[in-house]
Homo-oligomer: A and B are copies of this chain.
């Protein structure tokens, strides 16, 4: 294998340089698989731990092949690529040591389609580890998550690590867009898990604090919307056209103006809009990608009803048709008190920080599907935020994390396993 570092910060920087977006994490996943294998973990990958029925938004074959080829060029082993067909880039390393519970930790690996800032004050530039891929960036900290996962794997594989049972380290693709967790759940990988913990860096929690439960997940729906109208010469006969671009624009204005909700925090965003082809033709086509989120399922229902009416009303005004395609969903979840108590014990024992309860995450993470599955099957699940000062908000082009949080997270998670398994 390529010469990949072992230090958690160095690993994070390596991952930062090669950001790979959802379902295209070939280089990252192959490095993870190779390292887990070297450490003695039994490695499963691809279809063994993913069932892709109903998965939405898979990249095109062209994009999949390009990502594989780039990973190949970067020197990863062909055998791992072979085991991950068609965007199935999940990796799981399992280690058994004596009797005890099955304990699973989740780490996500994907980057975002954000173009990294070129400012010299942006640490990845100053320290020369910024993205080599224009238009892609680790702007949510998953580079750190993957590095933490590998460092924890190494600690737990040490002979003197004090735990007994089964440890399963799950490296998930496509957390952004909320599409990678459900295929893993569908494969049954979570069905026998007794203890589950997912982790995220940052989320406005300052360095040195550990949030022991984050129940502020937002319910969400993600829609792809298409308006279809009728083209016409924009100067000779505009009245013959049916303007899909205008319908989409009116819809956007209306969507953001949906009422705030006194009972539930809400969010709405149209993140992509593409309409029309050329200047002198009334645009007959428009495409939007949007998401609606709310702190309760009732709030989400009110918001989706409003969004649907807004899209249909905008279509009506322009006499165009509108198609709404449900692209994804996110659910909320609660951490079990039992998990939280163990995590508090781990933080206390390792003197790694202050623990905080009920920090609102303010976003979503499809680890909630894993948590739900574990809890359904009688296990306990939790979600843990490891505080990390950030240079700019998540998903922004200047995002960067305080790297001190990396080692701290490794220590806490190792201790958590040792206190639990």
Contacts and interface: CB of A to CB of B under 8 A. Distances in A.
Interface of A: 112-114, 135, 139-140, 176-177, 203-204, 218, 220, 222, 230-241, 243, 245-246, 248-250, 252-254, 256-257, 259-263, 265-284, 286, 289-291, 293, 299, 302, 306, 309-310, 312-319, 327, 361-364, 392-397
Contacts of A203: 236
A234 B276 contact: no
A394 B282 contact: no
A392 B106 CA distance: 46
Contacts of A289: 276, 278-279
Contacts of A270: 245-246, 276, 283
A179 to B, nearest CB: 11
Contacts of A253: 246, 249-250, 253-254, 257
A262 B265 CA distance: 9
Contact of A275 (B232, B262, B273): B273
A235 B218 contact: yes
24 contacts: A114-B231, A176-B278, A177-B279, A204-B262, A218-B235, A232-B393, A233-B363, A233-B393, A234-B395, A235-B291, A236-B393, A238-B259, A239-B262, A249-B250, A253-B253, A269-B280, A270-B276, A270-B283, A271-B279, A280-B363, A282-B395, A309-B317, A313-B314, A313-B316
B249 A273 contact: yes
Nearest to A282: B269
B261 A239 contact: yes
Contacts of A327: 279
Given A235-B362, A275-B272, A395 B281 contact: yes
A312 B266 CA distance: 27
A243 B253 CA distance: 12
Contact of A236 (B112, B262, B283): B262
Contacts of A316: 309, 312-313, 316
B114 A280 contact: no
Instruction: In the A-B complex, list the 4 residue pairs whose CB atoms are closest, starting with the nearest.
Output: A256-B257, A234-B269, A313-B316, A313-B317
Given A270-B245, A278-B271, A279-B290, A238 B257 contact: no
Given A235-B291, A243-B256, A271-B278, 6 more contacts: A204-B237, A220-B235, A238-B267, A239-B261, A248-B273, A313-B316
Contacts of A392: 240
- Of A243, A275, A278, A312, most buried by chain B (CB within 10 Å of CB) is A278
A272 B262 contact: no
- Of A113, A245, A252, A302, most buried by chain B (CB within 10 Å of CB) is A252
Contacts of A250: 249-250, 253-254, 257
